[in-house]
Chain A
Amino acid sequence: MAVKDSNRATNVGSSQRFAIGANVLLSVVLAVGLLIAVNLIASIKSYRSDLASVGNYGLSDRTKNVLGSLEKDVKLSLLYEPDEGDKAQQERIARMLDYCAELSRFSGKVSYQHVTSDRQRESLVAEINKNLSSEADAHKIALEDFERVRGRAEADLVTRYTEAQAILANNESWLGGFPLFTQVSLALDKLKEASQEAAEEIAELTPKTGIPKYGEAVTRAQGTVETLAGGFSQISDLMGRLTQLASETSKPDSEYIALLRGVSTDLRDVINNLRAQVGPAGSDPPSDVKKALKGYADACITTGAALEDLVARVDRFSTAFPIVQEHENWTTQVPSRVFSQDVMMQVEVAGILQDMGRSLSKIRLEVLGVIDSGQKDDLALALTKARRNVDALEGYVQDCTNILAGLADSLSSVDPASGSLLQDSREGGLFGKLVDDLNQVKAKFEDLPELKLADVADQLKDDNAVVIECGDQLRVVGFETIWPARPAIPGLQDDDPAETERTFNGDSALCSNILSITSDKAFANVVLVAYEPAAPQQQSPFSPPPARSSLPLASLSKVTTTLEDANFNVEQWNLAESKDPPEIDNDLDTIHIFLPPAPPQPPNPFNRQQQPSPMFGDAEREIVQKILDDGGRGIFLASWTITNAPFGRGLMASPYGYNPLLESTFNVRIDNGVRVMNVTPDPRTANAFFINALRFSYMPLIGYADHPVTSPMQGTRSLADSAAPVLVLDDSETTTNDDATTQPATSDTTHTTLLEIPDREEYISADIDSFIQIANEVNSSRGDGALNLGRPLQRGPFKLMVACEKPASDDRTTRVIVAGLAACFADQYLNNKVPVSLEQFRSESEPLENLDLLLNSIYWLNDTPELIGRGPVPVPRIERIPTGSRGYIQAFFWAIWPAVVLAPGLFLWFMRRR
Chain B
Amino acid sequence: MIDRIKALTERELAAIFLSFIAYVVGVLFLLVTGMLFTFETLTEGGEATMRPLFDHMSWLLILALPLITMRMISDEYASGTVETLMTAPVSDAEVVLGKFFGTFLFYVALILSTLVYVVALAMFSKPDLLATAYGYLGLLLLGALYASVGLFASSLTRHQLIAAVLAIAILALFSYAVDYLAMIQGGAWRNTLSYINILHHFKDFSKGIFDTKAIVFFVSSTAFFLFLCVKVMESKRWR
A binds B: yes
Question: Chain B residue with minimal CB distance to A913?
Answer: B20
Q: Given contacts A889-B120, A897-B34, is CB(A877)–CB(B224) below 8 Å?
A: no
Question: B89 and A879: CB pair below 8 A?
Answer: no
Question: A906 and B23: CB pair below 8 A?
Answer: yes
Asked if A183 lies at the interface with its beta carbon under 8 angstroms from chain B, I say no
Question: Chain A residue with minimal CB distance to B55?
Answer: A94
Question: A57 and B34: CB pair below 8 A?
Answer: no
Q: Given contacts A51-B209, A57-B209, A894-B38, is CB(A878)–CB(B128) below 8 Å?
A: no
Question: B30 and A880: CB pair below 8 A?
Answer: no
For the complex, give the distance between the alpha carbons of A12 and B238 in Å: 7
Asked if A9 lies at the interface with its beta carbon under 8 angstroms from chain B, I say yes
Question: A879 and B207: CB pair below 8 A?
Answer: no
Question: B208 and A52: CB pair below 8 A?
Answer: yes
Contacts of A47 in B (CB 8 A): 210-212
Contacts of A32 in B (CB 8 A): 224
Asked if A53 lies at the interface with its beta carbon under 8 angstroms from chain B, I say yes
Asked if A6 lies at the interface with its beta carbon under 8 angstroms from chain B, I say yes
Contacts of B56 in A (CB 8 A): none
Within 8 A of A (CB), among B57-77: none
Most-contacted residue by chain A among B89, B130, B210 (CB, 10 A) = B210
Interface code A47-59, partner B: CB below 8 Å = 1, 0 otherwise?
A: 1111111101110
Question: B42 and A39: CB pair below 8 A?
Answer: no
User: What's the minimum C-beta distance from B33 to chain A, rounded to whole angstroms?
Assistant: 8
Asked if A893 lies at the interface with its beta carbon under 8 angstroms from chain B, I say yes
Q: Which of B121, B210, B217 contacts A42 (CB 8 A)?
A: B217
Q: Which of A1, A35, A58, A493 contacts B89 (CB 8 A)?
A: A1
Contacts of A48 in B (CB 8 A): 209-213
Within 8 A of A (CB), among B18-61: 18, 20, 22-24, 26-27, 30-31, 34-35, 37-38, 42-49
Question: A6 and B124: CB pair below 8 A?
Answer: no
Contacts of A899 in B (CB 8 A): 27
Contacts of B24 in A (CB 8 A): 905
Contacts of A893 in B (CB 8 A): 30, 34-35, 37-38, 116-117, 120
Choose, from B5-13, B142-150, B161-169, B228-236, the stretch at the interface: B228-236
Contacts of B237 in A (CB 8 A): 5-6, 9-10
Size of A's binding interface in residues, CB under 8 A = 62
Asked if A38 lies at the interface with its beta carbon under 8 angstroms from chain B, I say yes
Interface code B199-239, partner A: CB below 8 Å = 1, 0 otherwise?
A: 00001000111111100110011001001100100110111
Contacts of B131 in A (CB 8 A): 51-54
Contacts of B34 in A (CB 8 A): 893-894, 897-898
Question: B128 and A53: CB pair below 8 A?
Answer: yes
Question: Chain B residue with minimal CB distance to A48?
Answer: B211
User: What's the minimum C-beta distance from B231 to chain A, rounded to whole angstroms?
Assistant: 5
Most-contacted residue by chain A among B130, B195, B235 (CB, 10 A) = B235
Asked if A344 lies at the interface with its beta carbon under 8 angstroms from chain B, I say no
Q: Given contacts A17-B238, A893-B35, is CB(A878)–CB(B125) below 8 Å?
A: yes
For the complex, give the distance between the alpha carbons of A6 and B91 in Å: 10
For the complex, give the distance between the alpha carbons of A49 and B211 in Å: 6
Question: B212 and A881: CB pair below 8 A?
Answer: no
Asked if B86 lies at the interface with its beta carbon under 8 angstroms from chain A, I say yes
User: What's the minimum C-beta distance from A621 to chain B, rounded to whole angstroms?
Assistant: 47
Question: A878 and B210: CB pair below 8 A?
Answer: no
Q: Given contacts A20-B238, A53-B131, A492-B44, is CB(A2)–CB(B90) below 8 Å?
A: yes
Contacts of B90 in A (CB 8 A): 2
Q: Which of B31, B124, B130, B238 contacts A898 (CB 8 A)?
A: B31
For the complex, give the distance between the alpha carbons of A46 and B213 in Å: 6
Most-contacted residue by chain B among A2, A875, A904, A912 (CB, 10 A) = A2
Asked if A630 lies at the interface with its beta carbon under 8 angstroms from chain B, I say no
Question: Chain B residue with minimal CB distance to A20?
Answer: B238
User: What's the minimum C-beta distance from A84 to chain B, rounded to whole angstroms?
Assistant: 14
Contacts of A45 in B (CB 8 A): 212
Contacts of A879 in B (CB 8 A): 44, 124-125
Question: Chain B residue with minimal CB distance to A102?
Answer: B209
Question: Chain A residue with minimal CB distance to B110?
Answer: A901
Question: Chain B residue with minimal CB distance to A37?
Answer: B220
User: What's the minimum C-beta distance from B171 to chain A, rounded to whole angstroms?
Assistant: 17
User: What's the minimum C-beta distance from A389 to chain B, rounded to whole angstroms?
Assistant: 97
User: What's the minimum C-beta distance from A450 to chain B, rounded to whole angstroms?
Assistant: 37
Within 8 A of A (CB), among B68-102: 86-92
Question: B234 and A46: CB pair below 8 A?
Answer: no
Choose, from A21-29, A212-220, A228-236, A432-440, the stretch at the interface: A21-29
Question: A881 and B238: CB pair below 8 A?
Answer: no
For the complex, give the distance between the alpha carbons of A52 and B211 in Å: 13
Q: Given contacts A28-B231, A39-B216, A39-B217, is CB(A2)–CB(B48) below 8 Å?
A: no
Question: B128 and A46: CB pair below 8 A?
Answer: no
For the complex, give the distance between the alpha carbons of A603 and B211 in Å: 70
Question: Chain B residue with minimal CB distance to A894?
Answer: B34
Question: B89 and A2: CB pair below 8 A?
Answer: yes
Question: B126 and A876: CB pair below 8 A?
Answer: yes
Question: B216 and A38: CB pair below 8 A?
Answer: yes
For the complex, give the distance between the alpha carbons of A518 and B49 in Å: 35
Q: Which of B26, B37, B43 contacts A901 (CB 8 A)?
A: B26
Asked if A902 lies at the interface with its beta carbon under 8 angstroms from chain B, I say yes
Question: B87 and A39: CB pair below 8 A?
Answer: no
Question: Chain B residue with minimal CB distance to A101?
Answer: B194
Within 8 A of B (CB), among A447-506: 489, 492-493, 501
Asked if B185 lies at the interface with its beta carbon under 8 angstroms from chain A, I say no
Contacts of B124 in A (CB 8 A): 878-879, 881
Asked if A578 lies at the interface with its beta carbon under 8 angstroms from chain B, I say no
Q: Given contacts A3-B89, A889-B120, A912-B18, is CB(A51)–CB(B212) below 8 Å?
A: no
Question: Chain A residue with minimal CB distance to B224?
Answer: A35
Question: Chain A residue with minimal CB distance to B211?
Answer: A48
For the complex, give the distance between the alpha carbons of A894 and B117 in Å: 12
Question: Chain A residue with minimal CB distance to B95?
Answer: A2
For the complex, give the distance between the alpha carbons of A876 and B45 in Å: 9
Question: B22 and A905: CB pair below 8 A?
Answer: yes
User: What's the minimum C-beta distance from A423 to chain B, rounded to whole angstroms?
Assistant: 71
User: What's the minimum C-beta distance from A64 to chain B, rounded to whole angstroms?
Assistant: 13
Question: B130 and A46: CB pair below 8 A?
Answer: no
Question: A909 and B20: CB pair below 8 A?
Answer: yes
User: What's the minimum C-beta distance from B17 to chain A, rounded to whole angstroms?
Assistant: 7
Asked if A283 lies at the interface with its beta carbon under 8 angstroms from chain B, I say no
Most-contacted residue by chain A among B17, B87, B212 (CB, 10 A) = B212
Asked if A98 lies at the interface with its beta carbon under 8 angstroms from chain B, I say yes
Q: Which of A6, A21, A51, A489 contacts B134 (CB 8 A)?
A: A51
Question: B42 and A889: CB pair below 8 A?
Answer: yes
Asked if A779 lies at the interface with its beta carbon under 8 angstroms from chain B, I say no
21 A–B contacts from the bound complex (CB under 8 Å): A2-B87, A6-B87, A21-B238, A28-B228, A35-B220, A39-B213, A39-B217, A47-B211, A49-B211, A52-B207, A53-B131, A56-B207, A57-B208, A492-B44, A501-B45, A878-B46, A878-B125, A897-B30, A898-B34, A904-B23, A905-B23
Further contacts, 8 of them, CB under 8 A, given A2-B92, A46-B211, A49-B211: A2-B89, A5-B237, A42-B217, A42-B220, A58-B208, A876-B125, A881-B44, A890-B38
The 9 closest A-B pairs by CB, nearest first: A905-B23, A52-B208, A893-B34, A9-B237, A42-B216, A57-B207, A52-B131, A46-B213, A875-B47
